[in-house]
Structure 1
Amino acid sequence: MPEPESMAVTVVVVAGGDPPTPQEIGRLPANPVVVAADAGLDHALAAGLVPAVAVGDMDSVSPEALAAAEQSGTRIERHPVDKDRTDLELALDLAARLADRIIVIGAGGGRLDHLIGNLAVLSSPQWSGVNIEAWLGHAQAVVAHSSRTLDVDPGTTVSLFALGGPARVTTTGLAWPLKNEVLDPLTSRGVSNRATIPAPQVSVHEGVVLAVIPSGSGGVYCGLEEMC
């Protein structure tokens, strides 16, 4: 049985990409459970967050951060450097066992292959029972396995991407709606839609969708039948 809303648990996963911005730190819920992925431990401590757990092969974290975390009571879960999963995936696996909602910060920037891999991992069906979103400094990425309400204002740009295969999608409150239609992962059909109401909704009947919300979105928009 789902927990009451007041009892919902949010876990913040701090990844080892670009450091989270002060604005992102200021938006976090009070007293979240924090999980650091490798060098995300440096980012977390620098932002004043004390992780409950730090997980990864620890090949990128600083010795100073490791020592400070151990002194503060953070549990360190070390994994081999030669492994089949990224540090972020290991952190999400741990967080998903604790959380109703996961906010990932520090996952942007750096290598393009890391960013693509991070977005793919976030959208994995293995996390379908948890609401996951990533704050990437320049954008927010929200994963929808079933129904997700997007916390945006009217006029905000919203781009929808099917990941891992076609997705059957219905949207409410977007300028160019989808009505139980198939969104193919190899097209740009879902790029640059626009919210027309507060808190539009994306309902995914089959597959998985990543909703990307650029920061400071505005200006010219493209609909589902247009090309930017």
Structure 2
Amino acid sequence: MTRFAILLGGELTVTARLRGQIAGARLIAADSGMMHAAALGVVPELWVGDFDSAGSELAVQYRDVPRETFPAEKDATDGAIAVAEAIRRGASELLLLGGLGGQSDHTVGLLGQSLGLARQGVACFLSSGTEEAWPLIPGRLRVELPAETRLSVVPFSDLAGLSLAGVKWPLANRDVALGSTLTLSNVALGPVEIVLRAGHGIAIAYPPLAPDE
């Protein structure tokens, strides 16, 4: 499995958990997402975007990183361009870093994009360091979470046959309507198993930070 981490321009809190999640992944920066490279201690293999939000200091600091420049007026976000390039380079798993929180339109658009990737058979995970998300499509998903992590499943359509195990309030083969709050604010007891028969949604988790983070 070829793993790529995409550095996006939103907020990112660097934690020990996040460092472990990106270990061994190849990296691509999308425009101002390059600002996270130093904190993560990485140098991406490619930098893409229209560079309307990447400052001159970043341009100097990472002048040796290969770039692909696109016009500001284009029909895809810089993040989507970075994702497409990762897939072109053989990505079978994508870690989208810095895309949660911030502008709601970009966040929801990115969550929708993650669902599209999952439908294409590309495993996808999103993180801001303090918030994590996984697309849910029919099938089984195991999420490694520390105990006492708050976990929500947000339906993006009616869900059929949803089961949750490894949580404080488990579910077994439940139907959950679009707009339902039934599956918000559960609590993980450790690794979580999610099974879905039909529909699609997003699992969102808030792992507790270490005392020094």
Alignment of 1:125-136 (within 5 A): 125=117, 128-136=120-128
Measure the CA separation in 1 of the matches of 2:158 and 2:76. Answer: 25
Secondary structure of residue in 1 paired with 2:81: helix
Equivalent residue number for residue 175 of structure 2: 182
Deviation (angstroms), 1:40? 0.5
Amino acid at match of 1:136: S
- Offset at 1:22? 4.7
What is the identity, as a one-letter code, of the residue corresponding to 1:56?
G
Structure 2: which amino acid aligns with 1:119? L
Q: Select the residue among 49, 56, 63 that pairs with 1:56.
A: 49
Say whether 1:100 aligns with 2:100: no
Over 3 Å counting, the alpha-carbon distance change for 1:69 and 1:185 in structure 2 is farther
Aligned to 1:75: 66
CA distance in 1 between partners of 2:145 and 2:69 (Å)? 38
Where does 1:78-157 land on structure 2 (aligned, <5 Å)? 78-97=69-88, 98-125=90-117, 128-145=120-137, 146-157=139-150
1:192 maps to amino acid:
S
Residue 35 of structure 1 and its aligned partner are, at CA, apart by 1.0
Rounded to whole Å, the distance in 1 between the matches of 2:15 and 2:148 is 25
Identity fraction in percent: 25
Write the deviation string for residues 28-72 of structure 1: whole angstroms up to 9, x where unpaired.
Answer: 44342001111002222453311112222221112332344342x
Q: What is the CA distance between 1:17 and its match in structure 2?
A: 0.8
Give the unaligned 5+ runs of structure 1. 1-7, 218-228
State the SS of the aligned residue for 2:129.
Answer: coil
Could you say which residue in structure 2 is the equivalent of 1:5? none
Change (3 A) 1:190 1:53: same
Q: Which residue of 2 is the match for residue 222 of structure 1?
A: none
Give, as a single letter, the amino acid of the residue that structure 2 aligns with 1:193: N
> In structure 1, what is the equivalent of residue 23 of structure 2?
30
Root-mean-square deviation (CA, aligned residues, Å) is: 2.5
Paired letter, 1:105: L
AA matched with 1:143: P
Instruction: State whether structure 2 residue 183 is matched by structure 1 residue 210.
Output: no
Q: 1:82 to 1:43 in 2, by over 3 A?
A: same
The equivalent residue for 1:171 is: 164
Structure 2 unaligned regions, length at least 5: none
Structure 2 Cα separation of the partners of residues 153 and 28 of structure 1: 14
- Residues 20 and 194 (structure 1 numbering): CA distance in 2 closer, same or farther, change over 3 Å? closer
1:195 equivalent in alignment to 2:204: no
Partner AA of 1:121 in structure 2: Q
Aligned pair count?
206
**Displacement of 1:25:** 5.2
TM-score by length of 2: 0.82
1:105: how far off?
1.5
Whole-angstrom distance in 1 between the partners of 2:131 and 2:108: 14
SS in 2 for 1:121: helix
